[in-house]
Amino acid sequence: MALSPVLEPPSSQSPIAPTAQTPFTPSQHRSATLRSDLKTIFLRTRKAQLQDARAIHQLIDSFSHDGTLLPRSYAEICANIRTFTIVETHTHQFLGCAALHVYGPHLAEIRSIVVRPDIKGCGAGGQLVHELMRQAEARSIKCLCLFTRIPNFFEHFHFSTYDRQAFSDKVLKDCLHCARRHACDETAMAFGELPTPRDLSRTDFFPHYQPTELVQLQV
Ligand SMILES: CC(C)(COP(=O)(O)OP(=O)(O)OC[C@H]1O[C@@H](n2cnc3c(N)ncnc32)[C@H](O)[C@@H]1OP(=O)(O)O)[C@@H](O)C(=O)NCCC(=O)NCCS
């Protein structure tokens, strides 16, 4: 588990104990208390477990109505729970999550990265990015990509902007079916070696696009 190097160990038990069912609605008192607690307690990341799925779903859902995040159903989160990493306090208070979607040795994607609104700016999002970068490196994945509306945030972690066509796997998986595909306001970013034409020509990633399977229409 990654422990924040910048935060001091806890001096006492946190007075706040939100559960997986805690609504992510503004509560000035709770937000102020948790934010000040975060100055004195550890944040840590760990792989998500099924018991985290409700909290993950609730948080992602609260950011998907305005298009900030792609919607993920509870069932989809459960089925892909191993791709998720969460950030929490030392007392297991859920603070946020992110997922690493692996396309192959040439490419992985950071998805569904989000932290509770009341702890924005406390370093939790940065810890998630660092942890997913570490996981990608540990698997020898050459390139880590993401599509975002806040490129400035990812520039902090040395991600650079590229043409989205460099990430065909991602485009085929999400963009082709997206309602906003003709008016997309997201920036494609990546860290590492971009996929090569050789990676992209590997049809085993896109079996439904094999030319031999195309049917010629007679008109
Ligand atoms: C984006 C998000 C995950 C960042 O989490 P966070 O915990 O607030 O980020 P951190 O506190 O770790 O910030 C790390 C650095 O990024 C900067 N930063 C944070 N949010 C930023 C933003 N929106 N734009 C530019 N820089 C930002 C911080 O100032 C900090 O810089 P510093 O190291 O120089 O102090 C969080 O704001 C969030 O959940 N947003 C809503 C969901 C979302 O937009 N997700 C991204 C989808 S691609």
Q: Is residue 216 part of a domain?
A: no
Q: Whose CA is nearest to atom 14 of ligand 1?
A: 126
Q: Is residue 38 part of a domain?
A: yes
Q: Is residue 51 part of a domain?
A: yes
10 ligand 1 Cβ < 6 A: no
Answer yes or no: is pLDDT of 208 > 60: no
For position 129, which CATH number holds? 3.40.630.30
Average pLDDT over the chain, rounded to an integer? 82
| pLDDT for the residue 37 | 67
140 ligand 1 Cβ < 6 A: no
In which band, very low, low, confident or very high, does the pLDDT at 158 lie, cut at 50, 70 and 90? very high
Mutate which of 150, 157, 158, 187 for ligand 1 pocket (most atoms within 8 A of beta carbon) = 150
Closest approach atom of ligand 1 to CA 148: 48
Closest approach atom of ligand 1 to CA 110: 48
DSSP state of 160: E
**Domain range enclosing 92:** 23-197
Q: Is residue 209 part of a domain?
A: no
How many domains, in total, are found in the chain? 1
The pLDDT of 60-77, averaged and rounded, is 95
Q: Is residue 11 part of a domain?
A: no
Answer yes or no: is pLDDT of 207 > 80: no
Sign of the CA dihedral running 46, 52, 58, 61: positive
Of 167, 105, 110, give the one whose Cα is nearest residue 140: 105
CA distance 94 to 86: 7
Answer yes or no: is pLDDT of 185 > 50: yes
| pLDDT for the residue 177 | 82
**Between 206 and 217, whose confidence is greater?**
217
| pLDDT for the residue 76 | 98
180 ligand 1 Cβ < 6 A: no
8 Å CB contact between 148 and 139: no
Of 138, 83, 139, give the one whose Cα is nearest residue 111: 83
- Output the 3-class SS for 36-62: HHCCCCCEEEEECCHHHHHHHHHHHHH
In what order do the strands lie in the sheet containing 84-89? Answer: 2-3, 43-47, 84-89, 94-104, 107-115, 143-148, 187-192, 160-162
The pLDDT of 128-139, averaged and rounded, is 98
| pLDDT for the residue 179 | 82
123 ligand 1 Cβ < 6 A: yes
Q: Ranked by mean pLDDT, which of 37-41, 99-103, 208-212 comes out on top?
A: 99-103
Q: Is residue 3 part of a domain?
A: no
117 ligand 1 Cβ < 6 A: no
Answer yes or no: is pLDDT of 7 > 90: no
Q: Is residue 101 part of a domain?
A: yes
**Out of 31-45, 69-83, 110-124, 183-197, which region has the weakest mean confidence (pLDDT)?**
31-45
Q: Whose CA is nearest to atom 29 of ligand 1?
A: 121
Mutate which of 110, 146, 153 for ligand 1 pocket (most atoms within 8 A of beta carbon) = 153
pLDDT single digits (tens) 164-175: 999 999 999 998
68 ligand 1 Cβ < 6 A: yes
